[in-house]
């Protein structure tokens, strides 16, 4: 266990070859883009493309966004399309839904998804259910976006993960990007989708740079909603995660590969509709499953994955029960040592993999 003792929590760094553009080359170089910039670019491109798209939320306009995600958009598009709202979540979420019903394509920002609880009736009862209840007459092409889950030291009321809550509801699509490529492709797909889409971002990921491949720099770059991505190929164990924990899983995979355990890391990207086929295919290859999420264990994303694997063809391929690595079942504490121990940690992910009997060699 020396390997484990040596581990120190590091911020994820994806380093790729080219960092500078060079002229007179056929293919454009990969750019370093933070998740924040990627979301900004995605929204900017969609605002430019379609007159009906607009953004509303607290501090999105003149403040440039509480987390600066909408920086520069108000200067470019003005008061009509980038709207600062009062602190009235239920009110402005309802207004956004009404505008969507009447033919516009709003992006409704919640400063964090914790505040969306005040407006959750509008998200579920007014937005999510309407297309079905109206027999297909009334669509609601709206995007609800904002940071979700734990941040750093913001304590219990500001740290809840809503993936399971929104993922529960038919009529909603729910996405959870990890990288810049995810963020840009998914926000663009969400805006172009005619259904209500919840985009669960992560505040701690906003400042993290990723290499944006050349195809992701196109104005029509979209990531399909409902498709997971295999971030790393492996043969011994399948690790499924969404949002920030994907990075931790990749770090764990690097550590474990030195022990001879090759992990296949799947980035869910979409919570609902969940791409269970990709997970099944992977489990049928590796025979072991670990799910990782920041939210609470009971009725969580991992619980759903385990239930569906059990119901499908992959069950017969499991050599051991699936393991869930989740946030601790407590309201998020404030003190750093307690907070660190309440979110899925690198050691936990590694331990859960190592405890599984795996094929070594």
Catalytic residue among 45, 46, 89, 231: 89
For the question of residue 242 being annotated catalytic, the response is no
Give the residue, chosen from 7, 90, 230, 328, that forms a contact with other proteins under the rule CB under 8 A. Answer: 90
CB of 140 to other proteins, least distance (A): 10
User: Candidates 88-96, 153-161, 298-306, 352-360 — which segment interacts with other proteins by CB under 8 A?
Assistant: 88-96
User: Candidates 102-110, 176-184, 207-215, 267-275 — which segment interacts with other proteins by CB under 8 A?
Assistant: 102-110
CB of 68 to other proteins, least distance (A): 24
Q: Which is nearer to other proteins, 102 or 337 (CB)?
A: 102
Contact 148, 324 (CB under 8 A): no
Q: Which is nearer to other proteins, 18 or 104 (CB)?
A: 104
Q: Which is nearer to other proteins, 13 or 121 (CB)?
A: 121
Count of CB atoms situated within 10 Å of the CB of 99: 18
Give the residue, chosen from 18, 29, 66, 95, that forms a contact with other proteins under the rule CB under 8 A. Answer: 95
Cis peptide, bond prior to residue 30, ω within 30 of zero: no
Residue with tokens 């051991």: 320
Question: Is 11 a residue that touches other proteins (CB under 8 A)?
Answer: no
For the question of residue 89 being annotated catalytic, the response is yes
Of 120-149, which residues contact other proteins (CB under 8 A)?
121-122, 125-126, 130, 132-138
DSSP code at position 316: G
Structure tokens at 267: 């980035």
- Concatenated DSSP letters of 5-41: HH----------S--S--SS-SSPPPEEEEHHHHHHH
Give the residue, chosen from 35, 38, 93, 279, that forms a contact with other proteins under the rule CB under 8 A. Answer: 93
CB of 47 to other proteins, least distance (A): 13
CB of 105 to other proteins, least distance (A): 10
DSSP code at position 348: H
Question: Is 85 a residue that touches other proteins (CB under 8 A)?
Answer: yes
Count of CB atoms situated within 10 Å of the CB of 6: 8
8 vs 48: CA distance, rounded Å? 44
Give the residue, chosen from 33, 35, 47, 54, that forms a contact with other proteins under the rule CB under 8 A. Answer: 54
CB of 166 to other proteins, least distance (A): 18
Q: Would strands 31-34 and 209-212 be described as parallel, antiparallel, or unpaired? A: antiparallel
Question: Is 96 a residue that touches other proteins (CB under 8 A)?
Answer: yes
Structure tokens at 301: 């994303």
**CA-to-CA dists, residue 40 to 30, 71, 183, 253, angstroms:** 18, 7, 9, 31
Start-to-end Cα distance in the chain: 18
Question: Is 345 a residue that touches other proteins (CB under 8 A)?
Answer: no
Question: Is 349 a residue that touches other proteins (CB under 8 A)?
Answer: no
Establish how many alpha carbons lie within 13 A of residue 241's alpha carbon, considering only the half-sphere containing its beta carbon: 30
Give the three-class secondary structure for 172. Answer: coil
User: Candidates 68-76, 90-98, 157-165, 189-197 — which segment interacts with other proteins by CB under 8 A?
Assistant: 90-98
Give the three-class secondary structure for 182. Answer: helix
Question: Is 104 a residue that touches other proteins (CB under 8 A)?
Answer: yes
Question: Is 86 a residue that touches other proteins (CB under 8 A)?
Answer: yes
Structure tokens at 111: 């400063």
Instruction: Provide the binding-site residues for other proteins, judged by CB under 8 A.
Output: 54, 80, 83, 85-86, 88, 90-104, 121-122, 125-126, 130, 132-138
User: Residues with catalytic annotation?
Assistant: 89, 158
């Amino acid at each position: 266990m020396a390997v484990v003792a040596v581990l120190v929590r590091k911020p994820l760094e994806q380093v790729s070859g080219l960092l500078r553009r060079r002229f007179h080359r056929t293919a454009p170089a990969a750019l370093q883009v933070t998740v924040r910039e990627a979301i900004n670019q995605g929204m900017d491109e969609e605002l430019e493309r379609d007159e009906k798209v607009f953004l509303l939320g607290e501090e999105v306009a003149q403040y440039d966004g509480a987390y600066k995600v909408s920086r520069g958009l108000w200067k470019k598009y003005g008061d009509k399309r980038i709207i600062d709202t009062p602190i009235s979540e239920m009110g402005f979420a309802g207004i956004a839904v009404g505008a969507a019903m009447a033919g516009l394509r709003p992006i409704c920002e919640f400063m964090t998804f914790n505040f969306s609880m005040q407006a959750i009736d509008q998200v579920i009862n007014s937005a999510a259910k309407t297309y079905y209840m109206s027999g297909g007459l009334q669509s609601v092409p709206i995007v609800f976006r904002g940071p979700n889950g734990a941040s750093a030291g913001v304590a219990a009321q500001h740290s809840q993960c809503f993936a399971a809550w929104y993922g529960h509801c038919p009529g909603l699509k729910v996405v959870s990007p990890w990288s810049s490529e995810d963020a840009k492709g998914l926000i663009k797909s969400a805006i172009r989708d005619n259904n209500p889409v919840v985009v669960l971002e992560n505040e701690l990921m906003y400042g993290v740079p990723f290499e944006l491949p050349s195809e992701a720099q196109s104005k029509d770059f979209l990531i399909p909603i409902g498709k997971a991505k295999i971030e790393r190929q492996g043969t011994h164990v399948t690790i499924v995660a969404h949002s920030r924990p994907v990075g931790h899983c990749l770090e764990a995979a690097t550590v474990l590969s030195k022990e001879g355990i090759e992990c296949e890391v799947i980035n869910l990207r979409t919570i609902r509709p969940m791409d269970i086929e990709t997970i099944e295919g992977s489990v049928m290859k590796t025979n072991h499953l670990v799910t990782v999420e920041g939210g609470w264990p009971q009725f969580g994303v991992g619980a759903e994955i385990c239930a569906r694997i059990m119901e499908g063809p992959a069950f017969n391929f499991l050599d051991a029960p699936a393991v869930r690595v989740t946030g601790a079942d407590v309201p998020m504490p404030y003190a750093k040592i307690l907070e660190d121990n309440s979110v899925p940690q690198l050691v936990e992910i590694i331990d859960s993999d190592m405890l599984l009997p795996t094929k070594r060699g």
